Amino acid sequence: MTALNCVAEAPADNNALLVAFASMDGDMVDQHFGSAQAFYLYSITADKAEQISSQRFGQEKMDGNEDKLKPKLAWLNGADIVYCGSIGGSATRQLMALGITPVKVSGGPDVEELIEALQQQLNGTPEFWLAKIMKNKTADTSDSRFDAMEEEGWEG
């Protein structure tokens, strides 16, 4: 496992999802996003899941103080999905602005079960939100697509 300053430092693999879980011990999703004491980061593909990092944060109150979100958002930058027990509207908006999809789960599900559910979708027909994430990850972001358009006589 590697210590990362932020998720964006993780090795790039367009076929892998970078998924963070808000968890006290890494076994189950049992933390509110804003007051989460730790996030466990996994690289997940259709047939493999590997924990690649984790980050601990100080104990926080659920008091609506927005400043406590900043270090979490900074560390999570580059993640695709964040699972948490609950999350407020402001944190949801800030994550989405960073291109991170927050997923609220209840009942403290096991991280392993959530990973298996993601892998089942990746091996079959993913739900719309997951298909969209994968499409964005594998989209051609190079300028060559514009060259191809120009060759076809496309004009903006």
CATH code of 54's domain: 3.30.420.130
pTM for this predicted structure: 0.84
* Distance (Å, whole) CA 9 – CA 117: 26
156 within domain boundaries: no
Considering the domain boundaries, does residue 19 fall inside one?
yes
Is 141 inside any structural domain? yes
Amino acid occupying residue 152: E
Residue 17 pLDDT > 70: yes
Q: Give the end-to-end CA distance of the chain in Å, rounded to a whole number.
A: 47
Structural domain span for residue 136:
7-151
- CA separation (Å) from 73 to 36, 42, 43, 96? 12, 17, 18, 11
> Do the domain assignments include residue 88?
yes
Beta strands in 45-118 (DSSP E): 49-56, 81-84, 101-104
Decide if 111 is inside a domain: yes
61 domain residue, yes or no: yes
pLDDT at position 24 over 60: yes
Residue 2 maps to a domain: no
At 137, the pLDDT band (50, 70, 90 cuts) reads confident
- The answer to whether 87 and 31 are in contact (CB under 8 A) is no
Torsion (CA) 17, 87, 39, 141 in degrees, nearest 10: 30
Summarised one tens digit per residue, pLDDT across range 25-81 is 999 999 999 989 999 999 999 999 999 999 999 765 555 555 778 999 999 999 999
Confidence band (pLDDT; 50, 70, 90) for 155?
Answer: low
pLDDT of residue 151 exceeding 60, the answer is: no
Number of domains present in the structure of the chain: 1
Average pLDDT value over all residues in the chain: 87
Beta bridge partners of 49: 44
Grade residue 122 by pLDDT with cuts at 50, 70 and 90: very high
For 141, the 3-state DSSP assignment is coil
Q: What contacts 107, CB < 8 A, 6 or more positions away?
A: none
